[in-house]
Amino acid sequence: MEFDKKHIFENIIGQSDPMREIFSIVEKVANSNTTIMINGETGTGKGLIARAIHESSDRNKNSFIQINCGAISEGLLESELFGHVKGAFTGAIANKPGKFELAQGGSIFLDEIGDMTTDLQVKVLRVLEENEFEPVGGNKTIKANVRVIAATHRDLEEEVQKGTFREDLFYRLYVIPIALPPLKEKKSDIPLLTSHFLKLFCTEKKKDIITISDEALQIFLNYFWPGNVRELKNLIERLVVLNEGDEITPKDLPKRLKTIKQPETLSGIDVSDNGVDFNTAVTKYEKTLIINALEKTNWIKNKAADFLQMKRTTLVEKIKRHKIKKEA
């Protein structure tokens, strides 16, 4: 099936190598009915990629239904996914179709599936394996003709080890995994994204086009962006609304962007003619890196671990070992 690539990817801005690879994968998997698992930090655009997969598939004439599994309680989520019959529970005054039924012939996007309880995971697994389900309180089996696209910000392999995510569902979902890079790993896209959002919000707010100075853009490039593209987008909207001139300069930027400390380099380690204590130097540098990562992520250990590309449990152990504490 031929599709308009420009139209499909028009809301996904990026020309970096990681994003080109993502676009290539989307094109390859679009017309298969294979389950897709999208991994990425909060704010990386998992929903945009899921929609692009649907729009570039032969299911694009039918519904694209999405639901955030982490934002709804277990009891309500089951009803939202599978529907319910009249009288199934207090307040069920009529039959109601669920998301799987509404997505018939199309695609369903299960965002934050890692937050789903194990009981519900069993029922989703049945849909994936047998293509059928029953509404809450009902005994009529409904056939499901739907393509499942799931997403999570969690490390599901780690969740499987902890027993909070079913191993059989994990393998059933991870047929084709797509890993979305955080913004810090595709900084070459920051100027493109900045320009795009400036034009978008200037048009939306009916303001003359505002540009960004080279100095302010350099601060953007040096920043960690723990909230990823969403954080950049929200910041640009704020700057457009508050800016009274025609250019964004460093003085317009929030303090958190301008107070990033650089990790200590080798120049900060005393290397005498008699040599250097390697273990002490490495320990000192490791502690400095961890402190910097924690400061950049507002002491949110999950994000600091992602920044340092290590497991959260490993980071916690190192924090204890170095006796690192947040200053009051």
CATH of the domain at 275: 1.10.10
Mean pLDDT in residue range 217-231: 93
Range of the domain at 270: 266-322
Q: Do 45 and 119 fall into the same domain? A: yes
- Of 78, 179, 208, which is closest to residue 137 (Cα–Cα)? 78
In tens, the pLDDT along 128-158 reads 999 999 999 998 999 999 999 999 999 899 8
In tens, the pLDDT along 81-107 reads 999 999 888 888 899 999 999 999 999
- Of 148, 166, 143, which is closest to residue 156 (Cα–Cα)? 166
Q: Is residue 328 assigned to a domain?
A: no
Mean of the per-residue pLDDT values of the chain: 88
CATH of the domain at 247: 1.10.8.60
Q: Do 124 and 19 fall into the same domain? A: yes
> What's the confidence (pLDDT) of residue 264?
46
Q: Is residue 327 assigned to a domain?
A: no
Q: Is residue 85 assigned to a domain?
A: yes
Q: Do 203 and 311 fall into the same domain? A: no
* CA pair distance 11, 157, nearest whole angstrom: 31
When pLDDT is cut at 50, 70 and 90, the band that residue 311 belongs to is confident
Q: How many domains does the chain have?
A: 3
> What's the confidence (pLDDT) of residue 3?
44
- Of 173, 172, 170, 175, which is closest to residue 157 (Cα–Cα)? 170
Q: Do 43 and 166 fall into the same domain? A: yes
**In degrees rounded to 5, what are phi and psi of residue 186?**
-140, 50
Highest mean pLDDT among 168-172, 263-267, 277-281, 321-325: 168-172
Mean pLDDT in residue range 248-252: 95
Q: Do 103 and 234 fall into the same domain? A: no
Q: Do 177 and 189 fall into the same domain? A: no
- Of 86, 112, 82, which is closest to residue 98 (Cα–Cα)? 82
> What's the confidence (pLDDT) of residue 150?
97
> What's the confidence (pLDDT) of residue 113?
97
Q: Is residue 137 assigned to a domain?
A: yes
Return the beta strands (E) in 129-251 as ranges.
132-133, 142-143, 147-152, 176-179, 211-212, 247-248
Say if residue 275's pLDDT is above 90: no
CATH of the domain at 159: 3.40.50.300
> What's the confidence (pLDDT) of residue 273?
59
Say if residue 266's pLDDT is above 50: no
Q: Is residue 132 assigned to a domain?
A: yes
> What's the confidence (pLDDT) of residue 300?
85
> What's the confidence (pLDDT) of residue 313?
84
Q: Do 19 and 105 fall into the same domain? A: yes
> What's the confidence (pLDDT) of residue 274?
65
The mean-pLDDT minimum among 7-16, 50-59, 239-248 falls in 7-16
> What's the confidence (pLDDT) of residue 92?
84
Mean pLDDT in residue range 261-287: 63
> What's the confidence (pLDDT) of residue 272?
58
Strand partners, 96: 84
Q: Is 326 exposed, middle or buried (0-12, 13-18, 19+ CB in 10 A)?
A: exposed
Q: Do 138 and 174 fall into the same domain? A: yes
Mean pLDDT in residue range 10-33: 89
Domain boundary among 147, 181, 215: 181
Q: Is residue 297 assigned to a domain?
A: yes
Domain boundary among 158, 181, 204: 181
When pLDDT is cut at 50, 70 and 90, the band that residue 1 belongs to is very low
When pLDDT is cut at 50, 70 and 90, the band that residue 63 belongs to is very high
Q: Do 248 and 196 fall into the same domain? A: yes
When pLDDT is cut at 50, 70 and 90, the band that residue 267 belongs to is very low
- High-pLDDT (> 70) share of the chain, %: 91
Mean pLDDT in residue range 8-14: 79
- Of 21, 53, 23, 19, which is closest to residue 37 (Cα–Cα)? 53
Q: Do 146 and 210 fall into the same domain? A: no
Highest mean pLDDT among 211-225, 273-287, 306-320: 211-225
Q: Is residue 290 assigned to a domain?
A: yes
Domain boundary among 226, 258, 290: 258
Q: Is residue 205 assigned to a domain?
A: yes
Say if residue 289's pLDDT is above 90: no
* CA pair distance 223, 303, nearest whole angstrom: 14
Q: Do 43 and 173 fall into the same domain? A: yes
At 158, the amino acid letter reads E
Mean pLDDT in residue range 192-210: 95
Q: Do 88 and 164 fall into the same domain? A: yes
